[in-house]
């Protein structure tokens, strides 16, 4: 994709012209912005797709759109229309009407209000009545932006998209909090993203550009629209992770481009496939299985489901085996409208036909029902498929057949299924370890026993009577969701160290593993270099290849994602770039960077070009940077001789790189006291000066201890204080090994507890 650089001819509005070009570049394509009538036909001939955006219409731009569109139709090149504010005024309405009349479009990407206007144009409705004027005035705010929602949701939104697609004989993409894509016969809904997308000016224009890019890359219109929608939602999610919950719109907007660039590095087609994740573990935390037998007078299944969804249920399965087909289909449609309103998947038990006809998100099959492979063939690639399993063999077969998640039970005794037998002890854990897809525990789960699922590896719990039979259903849902969150938190926390190896065991990877383990965190490593060293010095170093480092990081994040990450020795800029790219790709959290630039003795450990990459790529990713005095001087250009100098340097680093800084005292500047700077706020972390010459690996130990404490869930300042206490304990133990500056005893607390 990047080698071919698909070119998209964009006739777009000046407000978002730059963003349109940048989003295409980030995705691996390129934009040609010719808009003069004298050249648009020639430029269209040289491009793979045409994008027409009516954001700021005028007669010249309209004429250019008509010329380019007609030429693209003659050449059978895909044309994407973005009818910005189509109903905001009569001039826009007439301009869009002319385009619809004279040009055949592959995709029309619009919001709900724009879709309504296009439909009224198609049906040639008279819209100059006072009532119509009031209608348009009331929806004025809904004419702009990718996330502008009007009055439709669920099946109503699908029908709007289907009807418009049939009228215009093209693919229609109605975007909003939940997107819907239709070619007139079928429709697909895409949820996800980030709430901040509602405030991104030009977000819809950028999404339309992605639709054109996928078309230009050879995707059929429906697949192009679906791939663009999934990719854009995933891009927003990645940008949200990097920005953080409290991040501002400026950074979020910038991170959109960075996230899309990383997602598309290996090609547009691969990015489209990777973003097509039908369901994730987070959506399976509290899985409600319906049972209308427990409904109280005045309650309906949809009203109860809505109450449960609002209070923590993240996935709903409709299981009503005794309902006649007609009533089952009607119930499924009503429930899907409720679930779609809140972005919660609706799964139909056993009945793949009902799932397809109702527009539900998927089907769950049992061991005696239609198999996973058969269900996938029947439903296609867009539907979620879950499967009930009772053994490791069944789980592996279901995963290989294409299941998206597994239901495993009964974990406790249950009255809801007469044929359900209790799982053997330990079977749930074995199944969770055997497969890579999420596993949901089911069978007799309630508030009293749900805590017993802690540590077994399940993504969530499926509940029936504990929800539907509860007197206070909202309260029950909140309690069960909190319980799931609690036993998920109780699972062992994990931390990753990306650093060099110290064969003598005092610093580097070895010190990090010992520290994390001593603090009760499961330690993993990605090695950047092998060193031959001992307490007297470093004698040789072998750097790993960027490919091998990348492979290590992929293996870790794809199997046991770390709760926190420590970055230590990075011998080259090349390895830094790989590390930064992978950490951004996986949305790594709680990154602690120990910038191993200059040793305690003053020796430079990093080349000048690598220092530039460190500042540009790694430091901006970090939650906390832990430089010593010489490193802080190198990062700021300041001379640090006093506590006041430390404060100025810490503020400078924090402001420049938008991260927190722990500036380590030592070096006779402020004894054992360190300075924490967060958002401009300074906090001195007092430490005990311990008379021990054996300080090999203190920097590695402190940073890895902070990482472990962050993984355990402690706030940053408390994590730093706890890490310093551990370091003091290790120094105070007085271990004396080797002929030079020896190591500390990382196992000091283990010895103390014996």
Residues 222 and 171: beta-carbon distance below 8 Å: yes
Residue ranges in 318-367 assigned as alpha helix (H): 325-341, 352-358
Catalytic (active site) residue 668: no
Phi-psi region at 667: left, alpha or beta (left = phi > 0; alpha = psi -120 to 50): left
Q: 140-170 b/e with 16+ CB inside 10 Å = b?
A: eebbbbbbbbbebbbbebbebbbbbbebbeb
Rounded CA gap, 3 and 86, in Å? Answer: 37
Q: How far is CA 160 from the centre of its chain?
A: 29
Catalytic (active site) residue 698: yes
Residue 416: name the closest of 366, 459, 460 by CA.
Answer: 366
**Which pair of structure tokens corresponds to residue 48?**
């793979």
Rounded CA gap, 193 and 178, in Å? Answer: 9
Rounded CA gap, 634 and 641, in Å? Answer: 14
Residue 502 has φ and ψ, to the nearest 5°, of -115, 105
C-alpha dihedral, 205 to 206 to 208 to 214, nearest 10°:
160
Spot the catalytic one: 203, 229, 508, 697: 697
Hey, CA dihedral for 566, 568, 574, 575, is it positive or negative? Answer: negative
Spot the catalytic one: 473, 566, 664, 724: 664
Catalytic (active site) residue 707: no
Rounded CA gap, 602 and 244, in Å? Answer: 36
Strand order in the sheet with 107-110: 30-32, 7-11, 49-53, 79-82, 107-110, 171-174, 179-182, 187-190
Catalytic (active site) residue 724: no
Task: Establish how many alpha carbons lie within 13 A of residue 344's alpha carbon, considering only the half-sphere containing its beta carbon.
Answer: 27
Catalytic (active site) residue 695: yes
What DSSP letter does each residue of 667-730 carry, written as one string? Answer: TTTSTT-EEEEETTEEEEE-------S--BTHHHHHHHHHHHHHHTT--HHHHHHHHHHHHHHH
Residue 421: name the closest of 388, 469, 384, 397 by CA.
Answer: 388
Query: What is the DSSP pairing of strand 681-685 with strand 439-442?
Result: unpaired
Spot the catalytic one: 700, 701, 724, 748: 700
Rounded CA gap, 347 and 367, in Å? Answer: 17
Rounded CA gap, 748 and 14, in Å? Answer: 65
Spot the catalytic one: 193, 508, 699, 742: 699
Spot the catalytic one: 695, 707, 724, 748: 695
Catalytic (active site) residue 444: no
Rounded CA gap, 401 and 374, in Å? Answer: 9
SS3 657: helix
CB within 8 A of 17, min separation 6: which ones?
A: 10, 33
**Which pair of structure tokens corresponds to residue 401?**
């057949």
- Kindly give the interhelix angle for 59-74 and 90-102, rounded to the nearest 10 degrees: 20
| Contacts for 245-248: CB closer than 8 Å, 24+ residues apart | none
What DSSP letter does each residue of 216-269 carry, written as one string? Answer: HTT--HHHHHHHHHHHHHHHHHHHHHHH-TT--HHHHHHHHHHHHHHHTTT-HH
Q: How far is CA 363 from the centre of its chain?
A: 25
Spot the catalytic one: 44, 235, 698, 701: 698
Query: If you ran DSSP here, which 8-state letter would residue 460 be given?
Result: E
**Which pair of structure tokens corresponds to residue 499?**
């650093």
Task: Establish how many alpha carbons lie within 13 A of residue 513's alpha carbon, considering only the half-sphere containing its beta carbon.
Answer: 14
Indicate which residues carry an active-site annotation.
664, 695, 697-700
């Amino acid at each position: 994709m990047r080698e071919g650089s698909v070119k998209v001819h964009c006739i777009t509005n000046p407000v978002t012209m730059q963003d349109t070009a940048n989003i295409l570049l980030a995705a691996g394509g390129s934009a040609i912005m010719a808009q003069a009538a004298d050249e648009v036909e020639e430029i269209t001939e040289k491009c793979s797709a045409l994008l027409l955006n009516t954001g700021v219409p005028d007669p010249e731009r309209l004429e250019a759109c008509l010329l380019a569109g007609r030429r693209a139709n003659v050449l059978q090149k895909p044309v994407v229309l973005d009818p910005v504010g189509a109903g905001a005024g009569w001039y826009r309405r007439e301009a869009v009407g002319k385009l619809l009349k004279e040009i055949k479009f592959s995709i029309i990407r619009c919001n709900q209000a724009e879709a309504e206007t296009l439909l009224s144009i198609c049906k040639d409705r008279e819209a100059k009545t006072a009532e119509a004027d009031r209608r348009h005035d009331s929806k004025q705010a809904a004419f702009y932006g990718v996330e502008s929602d009007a009055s439709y949701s669920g099946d109503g939104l699908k029908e709007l998209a289907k009807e418009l697609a049939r009228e215009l004989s093209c693919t229609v993409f109605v975007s909003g909090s939940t997107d819907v894509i239709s070619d007139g016969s079928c429709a697909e809904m895409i949820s996800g993203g980030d709430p901040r997308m509602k405030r991104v000016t030009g977000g819809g224009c950028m999404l339309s550009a992605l639709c054109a890019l996928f078309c230009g890359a050879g995707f059929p219109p429906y697949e192009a629209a679906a791939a663009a929608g999934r990719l854009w939602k995933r891009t927003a999610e990645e940008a949200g992770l990097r920005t953080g919950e409290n991040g501002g719109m400026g950074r979020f907007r910038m991170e959109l481009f960075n996230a899309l660039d990383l997602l598309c590095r290996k090609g547009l087609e691969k990015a489209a496939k990777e973003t097509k994740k039908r369901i994730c573990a987070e959506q399976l935390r509290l899985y409600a299985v319906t049972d209308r037998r427990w409904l109280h007078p005045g309650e309906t299944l949809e009203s109860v489901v809505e109450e449960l969804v609002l209070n923590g249920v993240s996935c709903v399965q409709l299981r009503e085996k005794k309902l006649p087909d007609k009533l089952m289909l009607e119930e499924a449609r009503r429930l899907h409208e409720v679930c779609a309103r809140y972005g919660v998947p609706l799964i139909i038990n056993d009945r793949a036909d009902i799932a397809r006809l109702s527009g539900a998100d998927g089907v769950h099959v049992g061991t005696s029902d239609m198999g996973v492979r058969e269900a996938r063939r029947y439903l296609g690639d867009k539907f979620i498929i879950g499967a009930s399993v009772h053994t490791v063999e069944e789980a592996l077969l279901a995963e290989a057949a294409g299941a998206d998640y597994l239901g495993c039970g009964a974990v406790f005794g249950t009255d809801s299924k007469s044929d359900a037998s209790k799982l053997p002890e330990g079977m749930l854990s074995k199944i969770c370890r055997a497969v890579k897809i999420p596993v949901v525990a089911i069978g007799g789960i309630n508030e009293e026993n749900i805590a017993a699922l802690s540590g077994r590896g399940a993504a969530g719990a499926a509940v029936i009577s504990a929800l539907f039979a509860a007197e206070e259903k909202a309260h029950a849902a909140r309690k069960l969701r909190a319980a799931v969150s609690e036993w998920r938190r109780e699972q062992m926390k994990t931390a990753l160290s990306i650093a060099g190896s110290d064969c003598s065991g005092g610093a580097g990877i070895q010190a990090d593993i010992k520290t994390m383990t001593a603090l009760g965190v499961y330690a993993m490593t990605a090695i950047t270099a092998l060193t031959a060293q001992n307490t007297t010095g470093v004698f040789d170093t072998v750097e790993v290849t960027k490919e091998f480092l990348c492979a290590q990081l992929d293996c870790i994040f794809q199997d046991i994602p770390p709760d926190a990450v420590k970055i230590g020795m990075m011998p080259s800029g090349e390895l830094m770039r790989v590390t930064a790219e992978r950490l951004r790709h996986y949305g790594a959290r709680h990154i602690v960077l120990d910038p191993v630039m200059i040793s305690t003795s003053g020796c430079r450990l990093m080349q000048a070009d690598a220092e530039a990459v460190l500042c540009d790529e790694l430091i901006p990713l970090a939650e906390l940077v832990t430089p010593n005095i010489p490193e802080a001087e190198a990062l700021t250009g300041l001379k640090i001789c006093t506590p006041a100098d430390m404060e100025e340097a810490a503020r400078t680093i924090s402001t420049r790189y938008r991260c927190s800084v722990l500036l380590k005292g030592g070096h006779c500047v402020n004894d054992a006291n360190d300075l924490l700077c967060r958002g401009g706020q300074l906090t001195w972390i007092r430490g005990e000066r311990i008379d021990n010459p054996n300080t090999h690996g203190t920097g590695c130990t402190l940073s890895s201890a902070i990482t472990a404490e962050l993984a355990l869930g402690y706030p940053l300042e408390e994590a730093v204080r706890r890490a310093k206490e551990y370091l003091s304990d290790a120094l105070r133990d007085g271990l004396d090994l080797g002929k030079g500056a020896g190591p500390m005893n990382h196992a000091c607390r283990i010895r103390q507890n014996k």
